[in-house]
Structure 1
Amino acid sequence: MTKPLKQIHLAAHFPGVNNTTVWSDPKAGSHIEFSSFAHFAQTAERAKFDFLFLAEGLRLREQGGQIYDLDVVGRPDTFTILTALAAVTERLGLTGTINSTFNEPYEVARQFASLDHLSAGRAAWNVVTSWDAFTGENFRRGGFLPQEERYSRAKEFLATTNELFDSWRGNEILADQATGTFLRDAQAGAFVHQGQHFDIQGRFNVPRSPQGRPVIFQAGDSDEGREFAASSADAIFSRYATLDAGQAFYTDVKDRLAKYGRRPDQLLILPAASFVLGDTDAEAEEIAKEVRRQQVSGATAIKHLEWVWNRDLSSYDPDGPLPDIDPLLGEHTVARGRAQVRMYRDPLATAREWRELAAANNWSIRDLVIENSNRQNFVGSAQTIADTIDNYVQADASDGFILVPHITPSGLDDFADTVVPLLQERGVYRTEYEGTTLRDHLGLETPAGTVS
């Protein structure tokens, strides 16, 4: 019996807080003007994408005590942008990254419930944690939370917000015969939560929203992160670049669901992916090489190496060999406010591995960084990219992709015009939205008690 074709999920990542964007391209636009966000979102909706995704940085990054200005380092407030985008789109999901370490459940629940109302059911929350005291200095509790407790707080934070969302579930409207007015059940919005991180009670003042709760995304790749996603998330980001690695991650995370009483289709696996289109595969390969050289300048390559070495490496030639000295261990003092720093939990092992790669391939520092920092990259003609995306999804290496273009805001335009029609012709991608909410787009159940 032939296995039915899986439907592909696509989303768009507005590329901020990153070194993906090629600023030198004449088509590169602003990361703060609303017209950039509007163009990007409306292109994604024209292509029938599931959602737009915004990352967020809570502090300007530093390198060697100076503001790091080689890539995007910040952006206006997420909720403000997403609320504005709700007014210029109709179906596109609106996903925001909001930190569970430096916020409070009541405030975040109120903001997401409001966004879900204003967008008619299109809100989603990428739940992230923060581990560094440097970022925490911007907040009253700066640096108070030990790294090992960040997922403990995140789990309780999410559970608490769900209690707030659900505090309106099942509350009926009652008619007051004497006054002719309508009143909610006296228990509407009432909540009490006592736990390790939060001790709150009161009354939640935003009624049940169209989705009941926002769709929950999670991006952690550690064992704790995978468990958190399996227990609580609707979708998880993946960073795996090869088919085999993607399949292994997919199987591992999906296999964790059963212990929480969940089915495989209740959690989507959505890797981030960049892409370079050309009229032919050969042309796309040449464009991709130039894009990578533009993304990783010599200065960027040295700064990237400092994230691992925790040393000032400014005297090294980016087109020369890797340092023969070892990384400094202990608290990171060179690069501050960068999530990538925590990816290298064993700097000595990372440095050893990188030296071996560079020696085997005759790579310079810049060559190594270009290869090492390359994301899942679809390079080729529209037909080749459509084939590759479909192959990954049908082979259970993902359920779809979150696309990260290297040009903002017009970087999605060609993909929408050339690749999407090919996927639609295959019957693996929608030609029209069939529902109105983000849960509809993703094939996720709406929590019980939600008023439609």
Structure 2
Amino acid sequence: MSKPLKQIHLAAHFPGVNNTTVWSDPKAGSHIEFTSFAHFARTAERAKFDFLFLAEGLRLREQGGKIYDLDVVGRPDTFTVLAALAAVTEHLGLTGTINSTFNEPYEVARQFASLDHLSGGRAAWNVVTSWDAFTGENFRRGGFLPQGERYSRAKEFLATAGELFDSWHGDEIVADQATGVFLRDAKAGSFVHTGRHFDIHGQFNVPRSPQGRPVVFQAGDSDEGREFAASSADAIFSRYATLEGGQAFYTDVKDRLAQYGRRHDQLLILPAASFALADTDAEAEELAREVRRQQVSGATAIKHLEFVWNRDLSAYDPEGPLPDIDPDVSDNHISKGRAQVRMYRDPLATAREWRELAEANNWSIRDLVINTGNRQNFVGSPATIAKTINDYVQADASDGFILVPHITPTGLDDFADKVVPLLQEQGVFRTDYEGPTLRHHLGLAHPDEASDERAAS
């Protein structure tokens, strides 16, 4: 007897300031005007997606002392954008990336509880830590936490926020018989937390929200990050969008759940994925090549190489060979606020590998970056992409995907119109929303129901 088909979860990552973005395309629009956010969100909702996802940048990135080109338009505040989108959508989940290193539990819990009320139960929190002292300078804290401490703080941060969300649980409103005024027990919202990172007490001033707590996402890939997700998250934002890599990650993380008394279906694994969609597979392949060359201009290729070499390479021709000099392995990085710097932990080994690849394939600097950097995960006609996505999900390489188009704000339109109907015809994606909250979309229990279930077991 064959197992039933899994239902696919789809979400949309607003492209904004990331390396998939193609600014030079005539269809590219603003990354900061509200009309762009609104169009993108409405398209995702029209396609019955689970949620919209916003990344967060707490400081403009720099390269060689200058603002990195993708950041020149700035980075608007996550909560402000999501609250505004709550007013122009009805069902779409609203997921924001909020840092646990530089914020405080009361402040973040209050903002998410408010967003959950305003949206009718559609809020989600992608919990992240900050890794660099450069970003920390905006908060007068620099790199005050070593890497191991960041997850320690994040775990306590999330637990403390949970105590605040739950502080109104079970309190009943009663009417004063003499005055007719509705009153609540004075202990409503009361909290006391004493721990290693936080020592706070008082009263939380936002009542229990529709979801009880926002849906919690986590994005770490380290062993500690995976363990954090298995213990505390509702979904994990994965970077493994290939079949084999996705299956290995899926098995590893899902197998960690049992030790926390959780079932496999209580944590969703959702990789980010880009796509090149055209009428035929051949046209899509050509589009994918064109997009990659648009994404990696000559200047961008040089900047990417500087992540590894940690040197000013502006004098080098991007259409020429790789530098003969070795990378500077000092801790004084010329790239500030760039996550890519962490990816190349052994710059000398990476440089040797890249030189060998460039020599074997007769690649220029730009060719190398195009061929070793991020590529479109799904390339093909609507039928091909629909089949590939479904194959991955049914093979337990993921529970769905968070799609990152290369055009803002219309890059999701064709996917919504051409791929989603095919998934719906196959019976693996909803034709309409079945409940009002994001927890309904994701098939996740309300925290109160989950507590009752654990108590019963």
Query: Aligning the two structures, in what range does the TM-score lie when normalised by the shorter sequence?
Result: over 0.9
Give the Å deviation of 1:332.
4.1
* Alpha-carbon distance between aligned partners in 2 of 1:357 and 1:383, rounded to the nearest angstrom: 34
Match of residue 435 from structure 1: 435
- TM-score using structure 2 length: 0.96
Q: Tell me how many residue pairs correspond in the alignment.
A: 450
Aligned residue for 1:137, secondary structure, equals helix
Instruction: Report if the CA contact (8 A) 2:288-2:376 is conserved.
Output: no
Match of residue 191 from structure 2: 191
Alpha-carbon RMSD: 1.5
Instruction: Report if the CA contact (8 A) 2:310-2:327 is conserved.
Output: yes
Match of residue 300 from structure 2: 300
Closer, same or farther: CA 73–355 of 1 in aligned 2, 3 Å: farther
* Alpha-carbon distance between aligned partners in 1 of 2:13 and 2:21, rounded to the nearest angstrom: 12
Give the Å deviation of 1:376.
5.1
Instruction: Report if the CA contact (8 A) 2:17-2:70 is conserved.
Output: no
- Can you give the 5+ residue segments of structure 1 that lack an aligned partner in the other structure? none
Match of residue 279 from structure 2: 279
Match of residue 393 from structure 1: 393
Instruction: Report if the CA contact (8 A) 1:239-1:376 is conserved.
Output: no
Instruction: Report if the CA contact (8 A) 1:56-1:74 is conserved.
Output: no
Give the Å deviation of 1:177.
2.0
Give deviations 1:225-247, integer Å, cap 9, x for gaps. Answer: 11111111111111124211110
Aligned residue for 1:448, secondary structure, equals helix
Closer, same or farther: CA 72–212 of 1 in aligned 2, 3 Å: farther
Match of residue 364 from structure 1: 364
Match of residue 9 from structure 1: 9
Aligned residue for 1:312, secondary structure, equals coil
Letter in 1 for 2:445: E
Aligned residue for 1:240, secondary structure, equals coil
Closer, same or farther: CA 378–180 of 1 in aligned 2, 3 Å: same
Aligned residue for 2:314, secondary structure, equals coil
Instruction: Report if the CA contact (8 A) 1:21-1:71 is conserved.
Output: no
Of 335-344 and 322-331, deviating more is 322-331
* Alpha-carbon distance between aligned partners in 2 of 1:322 and 1:117, rounded to the nearest angstrom: 54
Letter in 2 for 1:193: H
Closer, same or farther: CA 72–226 of 1 in aligned 2, 3 Å: farther
Match of residue 231 from structure 1: 231
* Alpha-carbon distance between aligned partners in 2 of 1:255 and 1:322, rounded to the nearest angstrom: 43
Letter in 1 for 2:238: S
Instruction: Report if the CA contact (8 A) 1:58-1:74 is conserved.
Output: no
- Can you give the 5+ residue segments of structure 2 that lack an aligned partner in the other structure? 451-457
Letter in 1 for 2:400: G
Aligned residue for 2:192, secondary structure, equals strand
Give the Å deviation of 1:70.
4.5
Match of residue 321 from structure 1: 321
* Alpha-carbon distance between aligned partners in 1 of 2:211 and 2:428, rounded to the nearest angstrom: 25
* Alpha-carbon distance between aligned partners in 2 of 1:169 and 1:321, rounded to the nearest angstrom: 64
* Alpha-carbon distance between aligned partners in 2 of 1:184 and 1:365, rounded to the nearest angstrom: 67
Closer, same or farther: CA 449–245 of 1 in aligned 2, 3 Å: closer
Aligned residue for 2:154, secondary structure, equals helix
Letter in 2 for 1:360: A
Aligned residue for 2:193, secondary structure, equals strand
Match of residue 118 from structure 1: 118
Does residue 129 of structure 1 match 2:105?
no
Letter in 1 for 2:402: I
Of 364-373 and 429-438, deviating more is 364-373
* Alpha-carbon distance between aligned partners in 2 of 1:17 and 1:101, rounded to the nearest angstrom: 22
Give the Å deviation of 1:149.
1.2
Letter in 1 for 2:209: S
Give deviations 1:256-297, integer Å, cap 9, x for gaps. Answer: 111111111111110101111111000111111011000000
Aligned residue for 2:139, secondary structure, equals coil
Give the Å deviation of 1:183.
1.6
Does residue 83 of structure 1 match 2:83?
yes
Give the Å deviation of 1:315.
2.1
* Alpha-carbon distance between aligned partners in 2 of 1:352 and 1:332, rounded to the nearest angstrom: 21
Match of residue 103 from structure 1: 103
Does residue 52 of structure 1 match 2:57?
no
Instruction: Report if the CA contact (8 A) 2:12-2:402 is conserved.
Output: yes
Match of residue 28 from structure 1: 28
Give the Å deviation of 1:363.
2.4
Instruction: Report if the CA contact (8 A) 2:17-2:31 is conserved.
Output: no
* Alpha-carbon distance between aligned partners in 1 of 2:252 and 2:332, rounded to the nearest angstrom: 31
Match of residue 258 from structure 1: 258
Instruction: Report if the CA contact (8 A) 1:70-1:300 is conserved.
Output: no
Match of residue 214 from structure 1: 214
Letter in 2 for 1:21: T
Match of residue 454 from structure 2: none
Give the Å deviation of 1:449.
7.4
Give the Å deviation of 1:375.
4.2
* Alpha-carbon distance between aligned partners in 2 of 1:287 and 1:138, rounded to the nearest angstrom: 40
Give the Å deviation of 1:399.
0.4
Aligned residue for 2:207, secondary structure, equals coil
- TM-score using structure 1 length: 0.97
Match of residue 147 from structure 2: 147
Aligned residue for 2:126, secondary structure, equals strand
Of 335-344 and 437-446, deviating more is 335-344
Of 264-273 and 362-371, deviating more is 362-371
Instruction: Report if the CA contact (8 A) 2:16-2:408 is conserved.
Output: no
Instruction: Report if the CA contact (8 A) 1:302-1:314 is conserved.
Output: yes
